[in-house]
Amino acid sequence: MITTLPIDISPSTLKALLKGEIILQTRPHSAWGGAVTAQMYLPMPHTEVWMQITDYSRWTQFFPGLTRSEVISSGINTSGTTVKRQVKRLYQAASKAFLFLTAQVEIYLKVMETHQQSIQFSLESGSFNDFTADLALESCGEGTILTYSVQATPTIPVPSAFIQQAIKMDLPTNMKQMRQVICRSY
């Protein structure tokens, strides 16, 4: 039985997460961008989830539109912090069909990992005007709450409302796929 609630999660939200729901909040980010926060429960310890989500080559299994994901450099950053952070550079490519056209995107990301707690992704270059994402893990009973927040503005002008609608349709399916792949490996 869970005796304490994760930070900033209401009892009703926790109940929905434990039943397998993906909790999604979208918001505008810019005139041509979108932002979203998704949460899901994984019935496994956060240490195991951490090992799987930091295997970035597996992200193509988590997100079907992602065609390539690879670490291109790795190091440790200790400057300005008492916590050692793993710093990586990541290359990702994706393909997404919108109505009658297919968009191909590629990005180079700086990745800052705080061991078994969080991952921060920031755009170095690529097919977006801006892109940032944060992924956080929090223990919840014998399982883990995974929170994934992303905000992006593509270089192709697409109204923010359209991007938000596409996110609402795609992200829950992608998160369920991620959970299925992670739990299958456990």
66, 93 contact by CB (below 8 A): yes
Residue-wise pLDDT for 13-49, tens only, equals 999 999 999 999 887 676 667 788 999 999 999 999 9
How much is the pLDDT for 85? 77
Residue 5 pLDDT > 60: no
Structure tokens at 22: 């993906």
Between 70 and 102, name the one with better pLDDT: 70
Sequence-ordered list of residues with C-beta below 8 angstroms from that of 183, at least 6 positions apart, any chain: 42, 43, 44
How much is the pLDDT for 100? 64
Structure tokens at 103: 């968009």
Structure tokens at 94: 């994706």
Sequence-ordered list of residues with C-beta below 8 angstroms from that of 59, at least 6 positions apart, any chain: 66, 69, 92
Residue-wise pLDDT for 142-151, tens only, equals 999 999 998 8
Residue-wise pLDDT for 117-157, tens only, equals 999 999 999 888 888 999 999 999 899 999 999 888 777 76
Alpha-carbon gap, residue 26 to 13, rounded angstroms: 16
Instruction: Return the DSSP state at 115.
Output: T
pTM (two decimals): 0.85
Alpha-carbon gap, residue 186 to 184, rounded angstroms: 6
User: What domains sit in the chain, N to C, each tagged with a CATH number?
Assistant: 15-77+84-185 (3.30.530.20)
Q: Name the β-bridge partners of 109.
A: 90, 123
128, 107 contact by CB (below 8 A): yes
